[in-house]
C-alpha cells in the first residue's frame, strides 16, 4: 500500500498525461472516422507509419516540427488508401484495416533498415523537448503535473474541444453524423456521404500519424520495430468507451495513460509484482472496459456498411 501511495504524485500525473497523448490523437481520429460510418482498424498501422516517417522527416529536415508534419501527412496518405478500398471500392473495412496493419509492420521494419542501415537503426533524431508554461508551470504540484509538457500535449488536448465543437455544433459535424447514421438521408439533401467519409478517413489517418510521430519524436526519440505496440487498438477501445464523443474519448485515454504510467512506475519502484504482470495492465484494462461498455454504447447505425445510391 505504501508503495502504491508513493507513486501517486505529480510526476505520476504528468506521466499519465504524456502517455495518454498518443492515444488521444489516435482516438480523436477514430471518433471522426467511425462517426462518418467507416471502421478504422488500421489506426495501429497508420500510427506506426507516422512514427517512422516522423523520424525520417526530423532527421533529414533537421527539425522535429517538420518531422512531425511528415508523420501526419504519411498517416493521412495511408488512410487515403483505406478510404479508396472501403469507400470507393466498397470492400470490407475490417479486412482493409487488418491488411494495413500487417503491411505497416513489414514496411516500416524494412524501410528503417534500408534508410538508416542495419547498424544504425535506432539512431537518435532531433526531437521535442518539454515546454513549461511561464507562470502556470511554477505552481507547486499542478505546475509539474500539467504545465511542464511537450507543446504537442497541449495541442492534443486542445483538439478535444475543437473536435467536439466541429462534431456537435457545426454543419460539417451534422453532415458527418448523417453520413454515419443514415447516409441516404444525407444524400437526399445533397450531401455526398462518400465524400464526407473520405475526408473523415483521411483526417483520422492524419490524427493517427500524429499519435505515431508523438511516440517517436516526443517519447522515444528514435524508431523501433512495432513500437506502437497495440496503442492503435487501445485507441479503438477508447473510441467505444468514450461513446464516439471526444470528451469521453479523452477520459478513456487518461485512464489508459494512467494504467500505463502505473505500469512503468510499478516496475521502477518494485512492488513485488512480476513486471510482466504490470506490462499486461493497460491491455487487461482495455478488455475490462470493453466488457463494461459493451452492451450499452451505441455505434453509428451505418458503421461498416458501404454506401450505395
Partner 1 sequence: MIEMEKITKVFPGGVVANREVDFKIASGQVHALLGENGSGKTTLMNILYGMHRATSGTISRSSQTLTIGSPSDAISHGIGMVHQHFMLVPTLTVAENVVLGTSAGPNRLCPFLNLREAEERIASLSREYRLDVDPRAEVWQLPVGAQQRVEIVKALYRDADVLILDEPTAVLTPQEANDLIDVLSNLASRGKSIVFISHKLNEVISLADEITVLRNGDMIGMVRKKDTDAKDLARMMVGRSIEPPELPNRSPGEPMLTVKSLCVEDDRKLEAVKDVSFTLRAGEILGVAGVDGNGQKELVEAIAGVRRAVSGSVETKHQGVSNREYARRIGHVTEDRLKTSVVLDFSLWENFGIKTCDTSPHASWLGMNIGSLKAATEAAISEFRIKSRGPDEKISSLSGGNQQKLVLARELGLKPDILLAAQPTRGLDVGAAEYVHQRLIEERQNGMAILLVSTELEEILAISDRVIVLYEGKIMGALAARKATREVLGLMMAGERLEEMERSPGERN
**Residue ranges in contact with partner 1 by CB under 8 A:** 166, 169-172, 174-175, 177-178, 181-182, 184-191, 301, 309
Torsion sign over Cα 142, 148, 153, 157: positive
Report the DSSP pairing between strands 148-150 and 130-132: antiparallel
CB of 182 to partner 1, least distance (A): 5
Please say which residue, 171 or 296, places its beta carbon nearer to partner 1: 171
Cα distances from 173 to residues 166, 191, 235, 268, in angstroms, run: 5, 12, 21, 44
Residue 209: closest CA among 17, 28, 88: 28
Residue 234: closest CA among 16, 17, 20, 12: 20
Residue 273 φ then ψ, to 5°: -105, 135
Please say which residue, 72 or 191, places its beta carbon nearer to partner 1: 191
Contact 48, 208 (CB under 8 A): no
Residue 122 φ then ψ, to 5°: -100, 45
Looking up cell 497495440 gives 230
Please say which residue, 7 or 305, places its beta carbon nearer to partner 1: 305
CB of 302 to partner 1, least distance (A): 10
Please say which residue, 105 or 187, places its beta carbon nearer to partner 1: 187
Give the number of other Cβ atoms within 10 Å of residue 154's Cβ.
15
CB of 166 to partner 1, least distance (A): 7
CB of 309 to partner 1, least distance (A): 8
CB of 80 to partner 1, least distance (A): 23
Contact 256, 234 (CB under 8 A): yes
Please say which residue, 119 or 296, places its beta carbon nearer to partner 1: 296
Residue 152: closest CA among 219, 240, 246, 241: 219
Please say which residue, 70 or 175, places its beta carbon nearer to partner 1: 175
Please say which residue, 171 or 274, places its beta carbon nearer to partner 1: 171
Contact 122, 222 (CB under 8 A): yes
Torsion sign over Cα 159, 161, 164, 170: negative
CB of 293 to partner 1, least distance (A): 18
Q: Which helix (H) or strand (E) holds 259?
A: helix 246-269
Please say which residue, 34 or 44, places its beta carbon nearer to partner 1: 34
CB of 30 to partner 1, least distance (A): 19
Contact 221, 277 (CB under 8 A): no
CB of 174 to partner 1, least distance (A): 5
Amino acid at each position: 500500500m505504501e508503495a502504491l501511495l508513493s507513486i501517486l504524485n505529480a510526476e505520476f500525473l504528468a506521466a499519465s498525461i504524456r502517455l495518454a497523448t498518443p492515444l488521444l490523437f489516435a482516438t480523436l481520429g477514430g471518433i471522426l472516422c467511425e462517426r462518418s460510418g467507416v471502421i478504422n482498424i488500421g489506426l495501429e498501422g497508420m500510427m506506426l507509419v507516422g512514427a517512422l516517417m516522423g523520424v525520417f522527416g526530423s532527421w533529414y529536415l533537421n527539425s522535429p516540427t517538420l518531422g512531425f508534419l511528415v508523420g501526419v501527412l504519411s498517416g493521412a496518405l495511408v488512410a487515403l488508401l483505406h478510404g479508396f478500398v472501403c469507400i470507393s471500392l466498397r470492400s470490407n473495412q475490417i479486412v482493409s484495416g487488418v491488411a494495413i496493419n500487417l503491411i505497416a509492420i513489414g514496411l516500416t521494419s524494412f524501410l528503417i533498415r534500408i534508410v538508416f542501415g542495419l547498424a544504425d537503426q535506432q539512431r537518435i533524431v532531433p526531437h521535442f523537448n518539454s515546454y513549461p508554461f511561464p507562470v502556470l508551470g511554477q505552481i507547486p504540484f499542478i505546475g509539474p503535473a500539467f504545465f511542464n509538457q511537450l507543446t504537442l500535449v497541449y495541442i492534443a488536448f486542445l483538439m478535444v474541444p475543437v473536435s467536439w465543437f466541429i462534431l456537435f455544433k457545426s454543419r460539417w459535424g451534422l453532415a458527418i453524423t448523417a453520413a454515419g447514421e443514415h447516409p441516404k438521408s444525407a444524400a437526399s439533401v445533397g450531401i455526398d456521404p462518400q465524400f464526407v467519409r473520405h475526408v473523415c478517413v483521411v483526417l483520422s489517418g492524419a490524427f493517427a500519424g500524429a499519435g505515431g510521430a508523438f511516440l517517436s519524436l516526443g517519447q522515444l526519440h528514435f524508431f523501433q520495430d512495432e513500437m506502437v505496440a497495440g496503442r492503435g487498438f487501445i485507441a479503438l477501445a477508447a473510441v467505444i468507451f468514450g461513446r464516439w464523443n471526444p470528451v469521453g474519448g479523452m477520459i478513456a485515454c487518461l485512464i489508459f495513460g494512467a494504467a500505463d504510467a502505473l505500469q512503468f512506475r510499478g516496475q521502477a519502484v518494485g512492488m513485488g509484482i512480476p513486471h510482466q504482470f504490470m506490462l499486461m495492465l493497460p491491455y487487461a484494462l482495455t478488455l475490462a472496459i470493453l466488457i463494461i461498455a459493451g452492451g450499452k454504447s451505441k455505434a453509428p447505425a451505418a458503421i461498416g456498411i458501404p454506401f450505395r445510391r
